[in-house]
Structure 1
Amino acid sequence: MARTRAQIAQRLTRSSGALSTAALGRMEYDMPWVTELPAEDRSWIGLIVQAGIKSFIDWYRHEEASAPISAEVFGVAPREMASEITLQQTVAMVRLSVTVVDENLDDLLGPDADSARSALNRYAREIAFATAEVYARAAEQRGAWDARLEALVVDAILRGEDEDTISSRASALGWDTSANVVVVTGRLRSEADLDQIRRRAADLGLGCLCAVQGTRLVVVLGGVDEQGRPADTLSDAFAPGPVVLGPVTRSLADAKISADAARSGLRVAHGWTGAPRPVAADELLLERALASDRAARRMLVEQVYLPLRDAGGSVLETVESYLSGGSSIEGTARALFVHANTVRYYRLKRAAELTGLEATDPRDCYTLRIGLTLGRLDVREL
């Protein structure tokens, strides 16, 4: 007589321990990586296999009624298992467990094996979906946690928290704390995809931390060279308008310097109508100083006034005369009673070497003028 599902399920229940043992034995033989796991993780795998076989038997006994398979099977293992064992490895374990049960059905059930085998095939499909659901949920939770932690790291950088706090949080995100760092900021696109920015940075070999602050997007990039490259290639990730790169710093702990300069530059970048995109914060020293950025004001004095003052050889006098005399080489030469070539090829050339600014360039000329004025005002404080 044909046995009922309850009777077949009872026979399977009596053999569930042997089936679990056989499945684990096959895993250790066919999957060497299982034997390399810590003892605790191997014990969790054993519990998952046992729970999976028990879940199938219950599922079969109740005529394949819908049930929360993922909770029954994977609920016995800690959440951390999803990060220790990959989805591919879990799928391989499930497939092997189903194979072992299938191979033993004939010996266990005889003529009733076909009924159980048909149900096993359907159960295998259900458990596959349950496995994918578990890993998808774990990835979603991990992504949400990483996003929150990432925002905390960027906020800690902007507020200048202590190095240990920043380093420990960044290390949890896999950040290389010894890499050169630059902070880039600009307006946020309405359809901004932070994951896409992270993927592009990864393709460039850069570490990436993103955070949204109101209408601004702040991106911290690690692994750049001394000039901040290739961070300048990510400007199209921002909305139209200025994109400012802070100065390169040696580590994430010092990134506040870069962040402060970048944010200061973004506030005043509209003051330079011909600014490139992206523009370095140090190229906006003039606008930042005029907007009362004390750090920029000090840097401009140190870059312009002090080198010219200390150069000797009438370099400072020549530059001031050139600027106040309508930017005329010949007029400056007449005012100083020297030859025009002395002004052009010696003194102004020397000034360019000291400051990096060409007096004959309109913007550099403007920067020199403001830098000298600030120097005369602030030199006593330096």
Structure 2
Amino acid sequence: MARTRRAIRTPEQGVDPLAGIAELAGRDAHGVPADLLEGYLEELDEVSTTRRQLRPEQLRARREVGARAAERGVTLHGVIDLHLSATWLAWRSLAGVRSATDADDVRAAGEAVFKAADAAATALAEGYEEAQRWSVRQEESFRREFVDDLLDGRNLGQLAERAERFGLRLAGSNVVAAVRSARPVVDGGEVARAVETALALRVDSRGVLVTTKEGLLVCVAPETMAEVPDEFARQVAAVLGPGADWRVGLGRAHPGPGGVLRSFEQATHALDIAERLHLPGHLHRAADLLVYRVLLRDSAALADLVSVVLHPLRGARGGAGPLLETLSSYFANGQVTAACARELHLGVRTVTYRLQRVAELTGYTVDDPTQALSLQVAVLGAKLLDWPSSDDRAP
């Protein structure tokens, strides 16, 4: 609805008929700074006499004013209202209007002035919107640089101060969740935006950062907001849809700027382990996978164990694959032969035969607790080290 303009008395004609109009226009536009009219009244005065439209350099000046208004926090509506107020307030004082001798002269001056006002408003909007786009791009650049430093562990001394700009408090403990999907998630893409928006609608998103890193969708949240990781996983599931191939790795809580990096590394390690071991489910917590990290910490010893215990399986008919699969399912099902058979869609006798073949080839039997433990750890090691494929690739 159009705003009803209050009557404002224009200055009397004198040495400068346009004097004081800028200030009047600023008040009529609810306090928009009058200096944003810089040169505009003089341009209108010229147009009213020459009947020519604004020159390119004059339109550039309006675009610059629009950009300046955006930088100063003046609304687009406000800066355009200022110029329109100045146009109608200056109308009777414009040289071309004061010198008009008949109605045709007034009409011609009016058409020229209001076309110029329309062109000026368009130029103001263009400059304003370009400044806004630049501001957004600059903010995105700052955000990207901050995220990279945060998750790469660079410039730790400055991170806490910079984090406040994005609502993060790095003095406390934070946890990091990272999503890896079949299709990498891009910064500002549809998946990242949808998850961030949905998460903000369901939890207090202050202190929560949703971003991307090397194709991963990442969520940083305070340890005190324990509900965020599970809600984050739910929103990922909703956005990606049923049947999508994705996993969430969740790091442990650590304090300080460096703590975010540690939690992020734990989250990505959890993803790697879950993928290598084909662990069921979507959410994998680093705290639940510590035993696998212990195994990987001494990969040379783990490789020796795999080689000593499992290498003889390569001599089996059909290779080591079927026997490894059977061992893995057997241990995963609590060493219950029937459950293993159901999972593998095999007969119980076939499972029993394969376990006997393992004992014959390796000398390790699942019936002996100590030997069964060695077999179980060796099978886990084989998955973590991608054995026997890794041996096949070795020179």
Query: Which interval holds the TM-score relative to the shorter structure?
Result: 0.5 to 0.7
- 1:201 to 1:132, Cα distance in 2 relative to 1, 3 A: farther
Give 1:192's aligned residue: 189
5+ residue gaps, structure 2, are 1-12, 300-330, 337-372, 378-395
Give 1:92's aligned residue: 81
TM alignment of 1:119-198, pairs within 5 A:
119-161=112-154, 163-173=156-166, 175=168, 182-187=176-181, 188-189=184-185, 192-193=189-190, 194-198=192-196
Code of the aligned partner of 1:102: W
- Out of 244, 247, 261, the residue aligned to residue 249 of structure 2 is 244
TM alignment of 1:109-124, pairs within 5 A:
109-110=99-100, 111=102, 112-124=105-117
Other structure's SS at 1:242 match: strand
Q: How many residues align?
A: 279
Q: Is the 8 A contact 2:211 2:217 kept in 1?
A: yes
Give 1:292's aligned residue: 297
Give 1:226's aligned residue: 226
Give 2:98's aligned residue: 108
**TM-score, structure 2 as length reference:** 0.57
- 1:291 to 1:141, Cα distance in 2 relative to 1, 3 A: farther
Summarize deviations over 1:315-349 as a string: whole Å, max 9, x none: xxxxxxxx9xx879xxxxxxxxxxxxxxxxxxxxx
Other structure's SS at 2:39 match: helix
Summarize deviations over 1:225-259 as a string: whole Å, max 9, x none: 12434322332457732222333456656312221
CA separation in 1, counterparts of 2:279 and 2:21? 74
Other structure's SS at 1:142 match: helix
Amino-acid identity (%): 17
Q: Is the 8 A contact 1:167 1:252 kept in 2?
A: yes
Q: Is the 8 A contact 2:160 2:171 kept in 1?
A: no
Summarize deviations over 1:248-293 as a string: whole Å, max 9, x none: 4566563122211112122222134343224333333344444339
Q: Does 1:279 align with 2:284?
A: yes
Code of the aligned partner of 2:149: A
Q: Is the 8 A contact 1:182 1:221 kept in 2?
A: yes
Q: Identify, as 1 or 2, the structure richer in helix.
A: 1
- 1:263 to 1:31, Cα distance in 2 relative to 1, 3 A: same
Other structure's SS at 1:168 match: helix
5+ residue gaps, structure 1, are 1-13, 35-44, 295-322, 329-365, 371-382
CA separation in 1, counterparts of 2:279 and 2:236? 16
- Out of 43, 64, 72, the residue aligned to residue 61 of structure 2 is 72
- Out of 176, 201, 204, the residue aligned to residue 203 of structure 1 is 201
Other structure's SS at 2:176 match: strand
Give 1:331's aligned residue: none
**TM-score, structure 1 as length reference:** 0.58
- 1:30 to 1:151, Cα distance in 2 relative to 1, 3 A: closer
Summarize deviations over 1:50-75 as a string: whole Å, max 9, x none: 32223444556372266255521253
